[in-house]
Amino acid sequence: MKMLAVFVILVHVSQHASAVELYEGEEFVLLPCEFDTADVIDPSVVWSRCDLEPPTIHLRHQGGDELGNQNQLYSGRTSMMADALRTGDLSLKLSKLRLSDSGTYTCIVRKRSGGEKRVTNVLLRVKERFPSWATALLVLLAVGLLVFGGLLVHFRHYFMSVYKVNVDSGVESVQLPCKTIIHLPKDVTAEWKDRYKNKVHTYPDDYLPGEQHQVYRGRTEMKRNPLKTRDFSLTLKYPSANDSDFYICIVYTKEKSILMKKRVVLLVKDCQVEVEEREESVLLPFKTTPNLPDDAMVGWIRYVPSPIVTVHVFQHGSDQPKEQDQVYRDRTEMKKDLLKTGDLSLTLKNPKHTDTGTYECTIYNRNWEVMRMKTVQLKVKERIQIKDETINIRTRSSSTDPTPLMEDQSV
């Protein structure tokens, strides 16, 4: 009861606010929101805009996203980390920015008992791209800088502090560049971290148990002799749309003096699968590192359109048909040695138009921590059957015969 009173009182405390500015058409923006949910019983978080109807932008419970009352302007464009309510990182990822996205977004944490706290307000301003006359002027200026620009392109990995990498989902690996031309001492350390400061990779790679975040274990490597080549670029294996993020490469001395710091933006496109209705089956692909833990749990869900539906569950070394939704009963199949091979692809039999949606596969360890995750967009094209009105010309004696055409019938 005391905890509830404290929670309600917090509602009246002055809130943090921040502002973000981007241009129309940007791939995504992250609206920040952090709150310690450790002492909150059965928390949920809702992002909203009070100037819209309905105002809900994104709602997440412990069990996952609930998008039934989501404003249609944001359909398919919002997402949160799967373990957001556990870690307290309640930031909202908004994709494919539009001018109409400008506004004040509110992050609210709710309790099962009814109390809530407005954690933060974020003012988002989406600005229009340059007008045509300004673009033309920039083109004219660019002509005079072609030679200089060519040199920058050639040596871009050495000079750029921010670099953007785009890749399609399904490729075997992607390289995040981090190079320098300066001379480095022998005792330097290089670290790659993601936006959440999780350790992605270090050089030398003498990790202590648990140092490297489990999402990246077995998926990262550097080239040999990075000190000699001055190339600390990172290879990330089996990238998925869930790996789209900001990554930072830091090279520092034994005394922790930073020699180089570079930022890389990785954008991995969602895997898209298209099939016609009445096909025998369709494959939702997901390949990752082999030799996953024997006690790992693999779950496929469909979360768009809402409500969230359980498609397939693999746990304790076998499929768990009782856990899946009736709609997918006897229609899904995964390989038997999936944890050993790392091939977590799902075969969906007899795909229907109603199967169209966004599917997500998540691998959990025995502590229910997320190890791997992939999103697949499935589109099942509805098959329109045109009625066959074949006629038999032998029943017509002339082109002016008004008698209806009849098909031959055999007795």
Is the pLDDT higher at 370 or at 408?
A: 370
**What is the pLDDT at residue 124?**
94
Query: Within a 10 A sphere around the Cβ of 172, how many other Cβ atoms?
Result: 9
Identify the band that residue 389 occupies on the pLDDT scale cut at 50, 70 and 90: very low
Query: Within a 10 A sphere around the Cβ of 283, how many other Cβ atoms?
Result: 13
Given a contact cutoff of 8 angstroms between Cβ atoms, the answer to whether 342 and 288 are in contact is yes
Identify the band that residue 325 occupies on the pLDDT scale cut at 50, 70 and 90: very high
**What angle do helix axes 132-143 and 146-154 make, rounded to 10 degrees?**
80
Cα–Cα distance, 310 to 333 (Å, whole number) = 14
Identify the band that residue 210 occupies on the pLDDT scale cut at 50, 70 and 90: confident
Amino acid at site 316: H
**What is the pLDDT at residue 4?**
37
Given a contact cutoff of 8 angstroms between Cβ atoms, the answer to whether 108 and 119 are in contact is yes
- At residue 190, the 3 state secondary structure works out as strand
Residue 271 has pLDDT above 50, yes or no: yes
Average pLDDT for 173-189? 89
Identify the band that residue 147 occupies on the pLDDT scale cut at 50, 70 and 90: low
Given a contact cutoff of 8 angstroms between Cβ atoms, the answer to whether 297 and 313 are in contact is yes
Residues 269, 275, 279: CA angle, nearest 5 degrees: 150
**What is the pLDDT at residue 133?**
66
Going edge to edge, which strands form the sheet with 189-194? 162-168, 258-269, 245-252, 189-194, 199-203
Containing 95, the helix (H) or strand (E) segment is strand 92-95
Cα–Cα distance, 267 to 169 (Å, whole number) = 9
- Structure confidence by residue, pLDDT tens digits, 233-270: 999 998 988 899 999 999 999 888 988 889 999 999 88
Closest CA to 38 of 67, 12, 7, 14: 7
Is the pLDDT higher at 16 or at 252?
A: 252
Cα within 13 Å of Cα(151), Cβ side: 3
Average pLDDT for 105-120? 88
- Structure confidence by residue, pLDDT tens digits, 330-363: 999 999 899 999 999 999 999 999 999 999 999 9
**What is the pLDDT at residue 273?**
95
Containing 249, the helix (H) or strand (E) segment is strand 245-252
Structure tokens of 407?
């098909």
Measured CA to CA in angstroms, residue 277 lies from 248, 281, 301, 352, 392 at distances of: 44, 9, 20, 5, 31
Closest CA to 288 of 337, 233, 218, 356: 218
Structure tokens of 204?
């030398």
- How, if at all, do strands 162-168 and 258-269 pair? parallel
Q: What is the pTM of this model?
A: 0.50
Cα–Cα distance, 44 to 109 (Å, whole number) = 6
Mean of the per-residue pLDDT values for the chain?
Answer: 84
Residues 300, 274, 267: CA angle, nearest 5 degrees: 70
Q: Indicate the range of 1-10, 89-98, 140-149, 291-300 predicted with least confidence.
A: 1-10
The percent of the chain in helix, strand and coil, each rounded to the nearest 5, is: 15, 40, 45
Identify the band that residue 141 occupies on the pLDDT scale cut at 50, 70 and 90: confident
Q: Indicate the range of 5-14, 115-124, 179-188, 245-254 predicted with least confidence.
A: 5-14
Average pLDDT for 152-159? 47
Cα–Cα distance, 105 to 322 (Å, whole number) = 40
Portion of the chain with pLDDT greater than 70, in percent? 83
Cα–Cα distance, 198 to 370 (Å, whole number) = 13
- At residue 189, the 3 state secondary structure works out as strand
How many helices (H) does the chain have, and how many strands (E)?
7, 26
Which residues, 6 or more positions from 366, have their beta carbon under 8 angstroms from its beta carbon? 293, 295, 296
> Partners of 401 in the beta sheet?
none
Structure tokens of 267?
């954008």
